[in-house]
Structures are given as structure tokens and as C-alpha cells.
Amino acid sequence: MFDWFERGSYLGIILFLTLTGIGLPVPEEVPIVAAGVASRAAALKWYYALPACLVGALLGDSLMYAIGRFFGEKILKDHPWWSGFLTEQREKTIENLIKKHGIKAFFAARFLVGLRSPFYLTAGILRVPYRWFLLADFICASIVISIFFGLAYLFGDRITGLIQWAERGFTAIVITACVAALTVVAFFSFRRRRMRMLDQDPEALLENRELLFGPAADRIAETVHLGDDPDHGERK
């Protein structure tokens, strides 16, 4: 990916981010960070790479919205993969979250790996005015992408040094394969967890601890709770 970006493929950035927006099982932060690192290395112009990231993200989200708006009901009924991905009950739950929280729901969805696409698909099914959807998505995406791109650009030299060191041996291949496998596994794990939360306790998705810590939130909360329990030490 880094080599691809370093050849000046701004179109490649847009394409990759568009694919992540419509279901490619890779977090959108991966190509954003790669673009930031390549910009730091002067292989890309940051003032082109950053807008390319934003355009790609908005295109992917808009395509998901369009699928929901024009084909949503038919797809959910006729295609088993989609019906398992977004059940009628999940659609109703997301609808309630959007109506109750508005732009906050879309902002939170960008951090909830595995739930971004269902949120935008549902927005299309609900026929949320596209101008409002695009404005909300633009605001959320601009904030999130700027943060990840900026951090990658700021620490790009360190990241590039680590990559160059790893590329000197076979270790790089092993690391890349492991990271890719873990990323895919983590993506589907996150999605399963958050689909369960969407079914059982949708409001919990918008809690700060879930946004920050994801699957580790419950364990962290349990540890803090035990630490605050004055009788815990005595029971031991």
C-alpha cells in the first residue's frame, strides 16, 4: 500500500477509501495513515493527499447511501447476505438512533468499525435528504480524517523508519501477513460485537467508553468497578 501511494496515486487513495466505505474489511484509517506517511516522506503532496482521502471517504459513504435509497428494501428482502448484514430489527434500531441523536450518530459511526456501512445504508433507506446527509458526513469525516492524517504526517518519519527496517528481511512479510489477518479478524469481531449491542443495547454504542476502547470497554469497566469496590480486597 505504501509503495502504491508513493507512486503518486491520488486516484488510488480515492479508490481504496471508496472500497472501504462500501464494505472492504479494512478500517478506513489504514489508507489515511498510509497517505499521511507518504506525504511526510515527500512522495505525495499533502494538500492533494488529504483532499483525496476526504473525497474517497465521502464517495464510499455516498455509494452506501445510494444503495440504501434506491435498492435498500429490495436488497434486504431478496439477498441473504444483505439481510444478515442489516436485519429489519437492526434497521429500526439505527433509525431510532439517527432520529434521536442526529449528527452525533453519524459521528459515532465513523469510530464504530463494522457499523459505519449499516448506518449509511439505513440513512438511504430512510430517504434522509441527501444534502443533509452529505453535510453531516462531510463534517464528521473532515474531523476524523484530519486527525488521523495529521498524526501520521507528524510522526511519519518514525513510521517510515520502522517500515524500512522491517523491509530488510523476511520479517516484513510475516508482520504484514499477521497484521492483515489480525485486521480482518478484528474487523469481523468488532462488527459481531457491535451488531449484538445494536440489537440489545443501542444507546451503549454512543457511550464514550465504547467509542474509545471498543471491545476492551467491558473489561476496563469491570476492572475499574472492582478497584472501586471496598469489599473486593477482603473477599480475596
DSSP 203: G
Q: Mean pLDDT, to the nearest integer, of 37-64? A: 91
Q: Does residue 44 register a pLDDT over 80?
A: yes
Higher pLDDT, 23 or 13: 13
pLDDT at residue 195, rounded to an integer: 74
Q: How confident is the model at residue 78 (pLDDT cuts 50, 70, 90)?
A: low
pLDDT at residue 157, rounded to an integer: 63
pLDDT at residue 31, rounded to an integer: 87
Determine the Cα–Cα distance for residues 93 and 72; give it in Å rounded to an integer: 16
Higher pLDDT, 84 or 17: 17
Task: Report residue 181 as a C-alpha cell.
Answer: 489477518
Determine the Cα–Cα distance for residues 36 and 149; give it in Å rounded to an integer: 5
Q: How confident is the model at residue 219 (pLDDT cuts 50, 70, 90)?
A: low
Task: Report residue 135 as a C-alpha cell.
Answer: 453535510
pLDDT at residue 123, rounded to an integer: 87
Q: Mean pLDDT, to the nearest integer, of 139-156? A: 88
Higher pLDDT, 179 or 59: 59
Determine the Cα–Cα distance for residues 174 and 166; give it in Å rounded to an integer: 10
Q: Does residue 156 register a pLDDT over 80?
A: no
pLDDT at residue 49, rounded to an integer: 92
**Helix/strand/coil (H/E/C) assignment for every residue in the chain:** CHHHHHCCCHHHHHHHHHHHHCCCCCCCHHHHHHHHHHHHCCCCCHHHHHHHHHHHHHHHHHHHHHHHHHHHHHHHHHCHHHHHHCCHHHHHHHHHHHHHHCHHHHHHHHHCCCCHHHHHHHHHHCCCCHHHHHHHHHHHHHHHHHHHHHHHHHCHHHHHHHHHHHCCCCHHHHHHHHHHHHHHHHHHHHHHHHHHHHHHCHHHHHCHHHHHHHHHHHHHHHHHHHHHCCCHHHHC
Q: Does residue 224 register a pLDDT over 50?
A: no
Asked whether the beta carbons of 56 and 13 are under 8 A apart, the reply is: yes
Q: Helix axis angle, 29-40 relative to 46-78, nearest 10°?
A: 170
Determine the Cα–Cα distance for residues 79 and 84; give it in Å rounded to an integer: 9
Determine the Cα–Cα distance for residues 198 and 96; give it in Å rounded to an integer: 11
CA distances from 13 to 7, 52, 191 (A): 11, 6, 24
Higher pLDDT, 112 or 233: 112
- CA-based radius of gyration for the chain: 20
Round the average pLDDT of the chain to a whole number and report it. Answer: 75
Q: Is the pTM of this model over 0.75?
A: no
